[in-house]
Amino acid sequence: YAPWCPACQQIEATWESFAKESERLGITVGKVDVTQEPGLSGRFFVTTLPTIYHANDGVFRRYRGSRTLEDLQGYILERKWEAVEPVAGWKSPSSIMMHGMAGLFHFSGWIRQIHNYLTGTLGVHVWISYAIFILATLLIGLFLGL
């Protein structure tokens, strides 16, 4: 979820109720703020918010059903998740490919922090910051090419 997302705000009360029922259902319920954890956003290939996953014994399934408390509970109690196709091996959050994707998201966050430091703290003009990143990209490419 993301705090600014209207759909996430709409499901928040339902999700909190579902989390309170988690012990009775024999599951663990959590939520992750993708603005604070961009690596997980990349690892789980989050393209829409909110995105709900069911994980059991290292097998991940994306929940695409109704987002009412009754339907979420039914998904678990009636074991409806067994009929859902697991996430493909290469797209699984535990795969090497998605581990690399998480690294790219972390790297982009690091670049954003540097840009904000240059423009906000040091007062460098935005276009100069862009020029620094362009120059750094070219120099790293030349270095790796040698």
| CA 107-112-116 angle, 5° bins | 150
In terms of Cβ atoms closer than 10 Å to its own Cβ (0-12, 13-18, 19+), residue 14 is middle
- Give the separation between CA 67 and CA 52, rounded to whole angstroms: 10
Number of residues that this document lists for the chain: 146
Q: What is the dihedral sign for C-alpha 19, 33, 80, 67?
A: positive
Which of the residues are catalytic? 5, 8
